[in-house]
Amino acid sequence: MPTTIEYEPIGFNPVAGLLAFLVPGAGHVFLGQTRRGVLIGAGVLVMFFGGMLVGGLAVVDSRSGRLENRISFFGQAAVGPVAIAVDRLHQSMFKGMDLDTNKVRALNPGEVLLGAGDPRNGRGFPVIATADPARGEGPPYVRSQGKVQEIGLLYTVIAGMLNLIVILDALFPGGMARGRAGAVGAEVEAGVRTAGADPVEAAGRAGA
């Protein structure tokens, strides 16, 4: 008996797409695919913060002196407001004005960040000064170098790129129907399940 496989219609759900950008996985939760959304969100966020754990704060830097960091931020930003907030935090709280060049930059070893309220500063913005080793001063964080920097970048950029696919999948539910239909067809041939055996999942995919 021939088996008919119904292809899922391609929908358009801007609310799900927006939610997927705001919080990884939230778009799929909105579409009724809670378990799928939780797995996606956990995977993307663990990957992003895992990259920061390996490479430190320096891997998320949209105004870095390193070209690869600046380019990588475009990929990292696809993780959503979390990545953008981390970068904003980095720029505003962990960098200072170099009074010799009048440019904001990250600190090198042997330097200290004097906050706007520091009595040694006297200005309304954070500035970079020479650290006093006797007082245990130093930069607010150590900039990663070499392989840990590369691995940290890799984790955070892949997190963003995967979330971009997630956003598109939430924006166009059922848009990857060809691949899924193929998988369903293979299972039908193997006698594992029949097409449309999971109506709840299918309804969610269609973007109800």
Partner 1 sequence: MLAYTPFLDPIDANGIWWAMLPPLAILIAVVYKALRLATLRGYGWQVLLMAGQIVLAMLLLGAGAYLFIQHVAPMVLPVRL
Distance CA 172, CA 11 (A): 5
Q: What b/e readout covers 7-39, taking b as 16+ CB neighbours within 10 angstroms?
A: ebeebebeebbebbbebbbbbbbbbbbeebbee
DSSP letters spanning 31-42? TT-HHHHHHHHH
Tell me how many degrees the CA angle 160-161-167 measures, rounded to the nearest 5. 85
Based on the shown chain and the rule CB under 8 A, indicate whether residue 174 belongs to the binding site for partner 1.
no
Q: Which is nearer to partner 1, 123 or 147 (CB)?
A: 147
Task: Sketch the per residue contact string, 55 through 84, with partner 1: x for CB under 8 A, - otherwise.
Answer: xxxx--------------------------
Rule CB under 8 A: which of 29-48 touch partner 1? 35-36, 39-40, 42-44, 46-47
Q: How far is CA 126 from CA 113, 177, 183, in A?
A: 7, 53, 56
Residues 77-136 that bind partner 1 (CB under 8 A): 94, 136
Q: What is the nearest approach in angstroms of partner 1 to the Cβ of residue 89?
A: 11
Question: What is the nearest approach in angstroms of partner 1 to the Cβ of residue 5?
Answer: 11
- In angstroms, the CA 109 to CA 59 distance is 17
Query: Quick one: how many helices (H) and strands (E) in the chain?
Result: 8, 4
Binding segment toward partner 1, per CB under 8 A, in 62-70, 96-104, 118-126, 154-162: 154-162
Contact between 5 and partner 1 per CB under 8 A: no
As measured in angstroms, the least distance from the Cβ of 104 to partner 1 is 18
What are φ and ψ of residue 64, in 5° steps? -70, 160
Given 22, 71, 142, 208, the residue binding partner 1 (CB under 8 A): 142
Q: Is 141 in the site for partner 1 (CB under 8 A)?
A: yes
Residues lying near partner 1 in the complex (CB under 8 A): 35-36, 39-40, 42-44, 46-47, 49-50, 52-58, 94, 136, 138-152, 154-155, 158, 162, 165-166, 169, 176, 179-180, 183-184, 187, 193, 198, 201
